[in-house]
Homo-oligomer: A and B are copies of this chain.
Amino acid sequence: MDFYYTTEEEKFRDELRQWLVDNLPEGWIEGKREIPQDNEGQSKFFRDWQRKLFDGGWSGISWPEEYGGRGATLIEEVIYEQEMARVQAPPQINVIGVAMVGPTLLQIGTEEQRERYVNKILNGEEIWCQGYSEPNSGSDLAALQTSAVKKGDKWIINGQKIWTSMAHLADRCFLLARTENTGKKHEGITAFLVDMHQEGVETRPIRSIDDQHIFNEVFLNDAVAYEADIVGEVNKGWKVSLTLLSHERTGVARQIFQLNQVFDELVEMASTLKKNGRPLIEDPIVRQNIGRLRAKSKGLLLNYYRNLTNSIRNGYPGPEGSMDKLGASELGQEIYSYALSLQGSVNTLWKENAAVTAEWQYEYLRSRAYTIEGGTSEIQRNIIAERILGLPKDIKY
């Protein structure tokens, strides 16, 4: 049992850390983290950052070297997430392309697909989104109804996707559609690589409760894909989608690292804000809450390391990722909610009137989605019950 990294891993970290110092926007590390709010400005900002990452060799580090990656180990990926969390680096706009679509194409794509897409994913030239959820298939993903019908050499796609992050900025979509109705919902699904810039694709923003626009509805109205856009086999798309998800190796890691940082900021805030003239951190009740959150945050982090150790030992990640996801999402809500509780009666002033920084209010609201997106807490609990504990499956109704 140890928490030490090898000399090579440390070298990797140093290199990345130095690169971040040199390449993050000026003042970023010191806390001046401003991202343009308008679509265009935001798009440019994120694309520029994606390009910088690529140029520095820090995009898709787990990709094979021949495709522009570093063939990074799992531990290196973890270090990467730690360092990105540490400086609160901007999100990778093309995270879906880099973390999932690219590796999937490398694994099961055709030679043509690899040539056509992979490089542009890594350098951020083409931004990807993921077309999975639909209005009537959220938790029940396999119930999707968007249809793709073959007509000559084209597939004509009709239907609606929802919760498509970044669709408004994306160039292409990794989309699941139903190509056959066998009565078994996991069959007859096909994965397509769809051009977002065509007439049959319309994107409408979803305004979320934190007054942000990240998610979209995507309407497919006789949208077109071609035979060459099919990933894997026709009607075997469900398996492809699982392959894609399996490349999401460190998704929850950054969230967990960030939460531990946010906890530190919470302590900082409690040391600064006062009540009855006394710093909050001196209030015994506040201390109990902080102590409780500390044990939970640290426990979550340690759980992650334990699961990571297992993944490394076994060579593949187990279903324990659901425990990390469930724990991180619920703890995140708790921490942000408590952060607002501590701010007193001004706790819901936000934007330019925020009492501390508006991040607390934004993320408090944002955190409500933690337990919904990427599989609700209810679904995670079912996975943990069924796949880890071996409890009975919910009845297939």
Q: Which of B283, B284, B285, B397 contacts A395, CB < 8 Å?
A: B397
CB of A288 closer than 8 Å to a CB of B: yes
Q: Digit string of A103-140 for contact with B (CB within 8 Å is 1, else 0)? A: 00000000000000000000000000000000000000
**How far apart are the CA atoms of A279 and B397 in the complex, in Å?**
57
Q: How large is the interface on A (under 10, 10 to 19, 20 to 34, 35 or more residues)?
A: under 10
Q: Across the two chains, which residue of chain B brings its CB closest to A287?
A: B285
Q: Digit string of A275-304 for contact with B (CB within 8 Å is 1, else 0)? A: 000000001110010000000000000000
Contacts of A285 in B (CB 8 A): 284-285, 288
Q: Digit string of A346-390 for contact with B (CB within 8 Å is 1, else 0)? A: 000000000000000000000000000000000000000000000
Contacts of A397 in B (CB 8 A): 395
Q: Across the two chains, which residue of chain B brings its CB closest to A284?
A: B284
Query: So how many copies of this chain end up in the complex?
Result: 2
A interface residues with partner B (beta carbon < 8 Å): 283-285, 288, 395, 397
Contacts of A395 in B (CB 8 A): 395, 397
Closest chain-B Cβ to A280's Cβ sits at a distance in Å of: 13
**How far apart are the CA atoms of A284 and B284 in the complex, in Å?**
7
Closest chain-B Cβ to A301's Cβ sits at a distance in Å of: 26
Closest chain-B Cβ to A284's Cβ sits at a distance in Å of: 5
**How far apart are the CA atoms of A285 and B283 in the complex, in Å?**
10
Contacts of A283 in B (CB 8 A): 284
**How far apart are the CA atoms of A283 and B283 in the complex, in Å?**
12
**How far apart are the CA atoms of A395 and B396 in the complex, in Å?**
11
Can you list 7 A-B pairs, Cβ within 8 angstroms, ordered by A?
Answer: A283-B284, A284-B284, A284-B285, A285-B285, A285-B288, A395-B395, A395-B397
Closest chain-B Cβ to A278's Cβ sits at a distance in Å of: 12
Closest chain-B Cβ to A381's Cβ sits at a distance in Å of: 16
Q: Across the two chains, which residue of chain B brings its CB closest to A288?
A: B285
**How far apart are the CA atoms of A395 and B394 in the complex, in Å?**
11
Contacts of A284 in B (CB 8 A): 283-285
Closest chain-B Cβ to A293's Cβ sits at a distance in Å of: 16
Closest chain-B Cβ to A268's Cβ sits at a distance in Å of: 23
**How far apart are the CA atoms of A284 and B278 in the complex, in Å?**
15
Closest chain-B Cβ to A341's Cβ sits at a distance in Å of: 13
**How far apart are the CA atoms of A288 and B395 in the complex, in Å?**
43
Closest chain-B Cβ to A141's Cβ sits at a distance in Å of: 22
**How far apart are the CA atoms of A285 and B290 in the complex, in Å?**
13
Q: Across the two chains, which residue of chain B brings its CB closest to A283?
A: B284
**How far apart are the CA atoms of A220 and B395 in the complex, in Å?**
36
**How far apart are the CA atoms of A25 and B133 in the complex, in Å?**
70
Closest chain-B Cβ to A292's Cβ sits at a distance in Å of: 12
Q: Across the two chains, which residue of chain B brings its CB closest to A394?
A: B395
Contacts of A288 in B (CB 8 A): 285
**How far apart are the CA atoms of A395 and B288 in the complex, in Å?**
43
**How far apart are the CA atoms of A362 and B82 in the complex, in Å?**
51
Closest chain-B Cβ to A290's Cβ sits at a distance in Å of: 13
**How far apart are the CA atoms of A127 and B283 in the complex, in Å?**
57
**How far apart are the CA atoms of A284 and B286 in the complex, in Å?**
11
**How far apart are the CA atoms of A285 and B395 in the complex, in Å?**
45
**How far apart are the CA atoms of A178 and B155 in the complex, in Å?**
63
